[in-house]
Amino acid sequence: IEGLGEKHISAFWQDGLIRQPGDIFRLKTRLDDIAEREGWGEISATKLIAAIDERRRIPLDRFINALGIPQVGQATARLLARHYRSLAHWRGEMEAAQDPESPARAHLLDVHGIGADMAADIIGFFAEPHNRAVLDDLAREVTVLDYEAPAQASQSPLAGKTIVFTGGLEAMSRSEAKARAEALGANVASSVSAKTDYVVIGADAGSKAAKAAALGVTTLDEAAWLELAGLAPAEAG
């Protein structure tokens, strides 16, 4: 939520404006209280409420990521979203998995990338009544969108390739580049290894560029990346 960072969350919590995540989406009724706060005003309070409303619809993977389950970050959240498709289904499975004998538990472990340790953390999250209550409450305020498989361009030269970005890019942000690469069927990794196919070197690249060179991984400059991604701008001159 734009404009709602750690500091504000923590201050709101201390002053009792919010007690649990769902409360954020009910701040609308406290607009005047917010506007009167020190450092705030009518404009910022109104903008905050608008920014909150813009986040009422949220993709499943981001929702899972936001739960803060230990070991479940961006990548694992997406893994889960891809596998379970909807919040209702996932939650149903995780609650069924409370029973150690349940097939739901076996299914979770079948997900490539989820091992016993992560499964225990995930199932453990749903074992907490408090967490389930928070989810119930949040569900009343937000709409979690079912996972949509990205349409894959299997023709793309990037299909099936593992790519790593490092350094700053000019034409697009890192996250845009990542989204683009994934849309083209590439796997975007966060560190360079021998299995990496391409490393895109942006401005002020750090050790990843050196590692790519050491491992003999193909490196691309931004122009080459844009061309590979089918985004090549008209070459100057």
Min dist CB 177 to DNA, Å, is 8
Contacts of 1 (CB under 8 A, 6+ apart): 24, 48, 51, 52, 54, 55
The tokens for 170 are 């000019």
Min dist CB 237 to DNA, Å, is 27
Residue 53 or residue 117: which is nearer to DNA going by CB? 117
Min dist CB 120 to DNA, Å, is 8
123 exposed, middle or buried (CB, 10 Å; 0-12, 13-18, 19+)?
buried
SS3 219: strand
Min dist CB 118 to DNA, Å, is 3
Residue 38 or residue 101: which is nearer to DNA going by CB? 38
Residue 12 or residue 135: which is nearer to DNA going by CB? 12
Residue 41 or residue 237: which is nearer to DNA going by CB? 41
Note the residues at the interface with DNA (CB under 7 A): 2-8, 38-45, 47, 68, 70-77, 111-119, 162, 165-169, 173-175, 189-191, 193-196, 202, 204-208
Contacts of 40 (CB under 8 A, 6+ apart): 34
Q: Do residues 188 and 223 make contact, with C-beta atoms less than 8 angstroms apart?
A: no
In order of 77, 118, 236, the CA distances from 59 in angstroms are 11, 22, 39
Q: Do residues 12 and 49 make contact, with C-beta atoms less than 8 angstroms apart?
A: no
Residue 44 or residue 152: which is nearer to DNA going by CB? 44
Min dist CB 173 to DNA, Å, is 4
